[in-house]
Structure 1
Amino acid sequence: MRTILLLIVSNTFMTFAWYGHLKKPDMPIWKAILISWGIAFFEYVFMVPANRLGYGQFNAFQLKTIQEAITLVVFMVFAVLYLKEPLKWNYLVGFGLIFLAVWVVFKK
C-alpha cells in the first residue's frame, strides 16, 4: 500500500511538472522548463522510494504497469479539475482498454 500511495504522490507532482504550465501559455518556455524541472525533483523524491519498496512485492514489469495506470487516473482528475477539459466517452473507453492491459499483466 505504501508503494501505491508514493506512486500517487509522485505522479501528481509529475503531472503538474509536465502539464501545469499549459494554463499559462504566455509564460516563456525557458521559465516553464525550469519550473517543471523544480517540480519534477519532488516526483523523484517519491518515485524512487516507491520503486525500492515495491520491488520484491511486485516485479519491474508490474511496478511500471501500476505506475502507468496511476498516471492515467491522476491525469484524468488533473485534466478535468485543473485544466477544465471535458472527460469524453472515447477517453474513458481508451483508458478502460489500457486498464484491461493492466489486468492482463497481473494475470497469473
Structure 2
Amino acid sequence: MLFLWWDWKAVIHYDLLPPGRTIDSELYCEQLMRLKQEVERKRPELINRRGVGFHHDNARPHTSLATQQKVREFGWEVLMHPSFSLELASSDFHLFRSFQNSLDSV
C-alpha cells in the first residue's frame, strides 16, 4: 500500500506499507514523524507560519489517541473530514471551502 502526502506544489513524502505489516496507530505515528521531517526539510515556510493544515479521514489509526497526541505535539491543524458527497471528492470540498474563506477575508 502506498501512503502519499502532498501540498499545492508537489509531493512532500510517500511511504510504502512494509511487507507483512498492517496499518495501525503505531505505524501511522512513525509515518507522521517521517512526514514532519520532510515538511521541515522541503517546506520550512509552513513550519514558521501558522503551521500545517492536515487532512486525513476517520480511519481508526487516524483517530486514535496516540495519533491525536502526535498531531497536537506537532502543532498541526487537523481539517474536518466532510460528509460523503457524490458530487465532490473530499479534496475538492476543502479546496472550495478554503477558496471561499480567502474570498471572505478580502
Q: TM-score, normalised by structure 2?
A: 0.36
More strand per residue: 1 or 2?
A: 2
